[in-house]
Amino acid sequence: MSDNAQRYAVFGHPIAHSLSPRIHRAFAAQFGHDIDYRAIDTPEADFVQQLSAFRAGGGVGANVTLPLKGLAFAACAQVSDGAARSGAVNTLEALPGAGWRGHNTDGPGLIADLTARQGLDLRSRDVLLLGAGGAAQGVVHALLEAGVRNLTLTNRTPTRADALADRIGQPGRVHVRYWNDLATSGSYNLVINATAAGVTGGSIDLPFAMVAPRALCYDLSYGKAATSFLAWARAAGAAQALDGLGMLVDQAALAFEIWFGRRPDADAVFAVLRAELDA
C-alpha cells in the first residue's frame, strides 16, 4: 500500500468487534484493488477532532457505528434524503475540497437482507423495534416503505422512542410502548433488536408473550453480541432467529458503491463470514 493511498475507516466505540475492515477489503479485492481501511476507536467526545485528523491524513470515505451516528449527521455539510429523514449517518463521503456528504445505508441494508436474502414478504408483519438509537433511526423509514403493517417502538429510555415516533410522524402505523409494559401490549411477528445491549454487555430479558407464533426475531448485532437475544428468541418460540450479519454486509455493499460507483458481490463475502461465525 502506498503512503499516499486514499484512506477509508470505520469510527465507533467499541470498535474491536467490527467486521467492516474485512468486508471492505474483500469488496475491494473483487475489483483488484487494495484498500486502506482501518477501524478507529473513537469515543463521542473525540469524534469531531478524529474525523478532521482522518480527513487531513487522506481520508476520503468512512463508516460510522455506535454511538456516533447522530454526531456524524451533525458533522456533515450535506446529507442524502435518506440520512436527512433518519437524522443519522452511517456512511461519509468526502466532498471535493472539504466537508462530508452523509448517507444512511442501514435501512436499505436491513431490507435487502430480510427480503432478497431471507425471502421474506414484510407486508404482513407487525413489527416491534427494540431501541431508539442511531441504528433504529436508520431502519424505521425503510421498514415502513417496505410495507410493514404496523411498527411499534420501545426503548429503555422512553423519551427517545417518543421522539423517534414524533420524527416519523405516521401515527396510524407507528406506535410507542413502554419497555416495562410489553407483557401486556400484544404480540409481534417480527421483533427486531436494535439495542446495543449485546455489544455493551447487557442482556435483553423480555416477556415471551410478545413473540407471536411463526415470528421472526432479528438482532442487528452479529456474532457473540447477538447470542443472548437469539437464545431468548428461540426460548420464546420464534420460528426464525437471525443475526445482523447479512445486514452488515448489505449496508457495506451500498457504502462501497457510494465511494467507488461499483456494486460488489455481497453474497460471496456474506458466505465466507457466515461460515466462520457459525463454525
- Catalytic machinery residues: 69
Site for ligand NAP, rule CB under 6 A:
65-67, 69, 106, 109, 131-136, 155-157, 160, 194-200, 202, 220-222, 225, 244, 247-248, 251
Size of the chain, expressed as the number of residues it contains: 279
HSE (side-chain half, CA atoms, 13 Å) at 62: 36
Nearest to ligand NAP of 189, 251 (CB atom): 251
The grid cell for 267 is 453474497
CB of 101 to ligand NAP, least distance (A): 19
Sign of CA dihedral 178, 183, 188, 191: positive
Nearest to ligand NAP of 25, 156 (CB atom): 156
CB of 66 to ligand NAP, least distance (A): 3
Nearest to ligand NAP of 194, 230 (CB atom): 194
Q: 201 — phi, psi (to 5°)? A: 95, 5
Of the candidates 55, 61, 60, 58, which has an alpha carbon nearest to the alpha carbon of residue 2? 58
CB of 27 to ligand NAP, least distance (A): 15
Residue nearest to ligand NAP (CB): 133
Nearest to ligand NAP of 91, 155 (CB atom): 155
Helix (H, G, I), strand (E, B) or coil at 105: coil
Sign of CA dihedral 172, 173, 177, 182: positive
CB of 14 to ligand NAP, least distance (A): 9
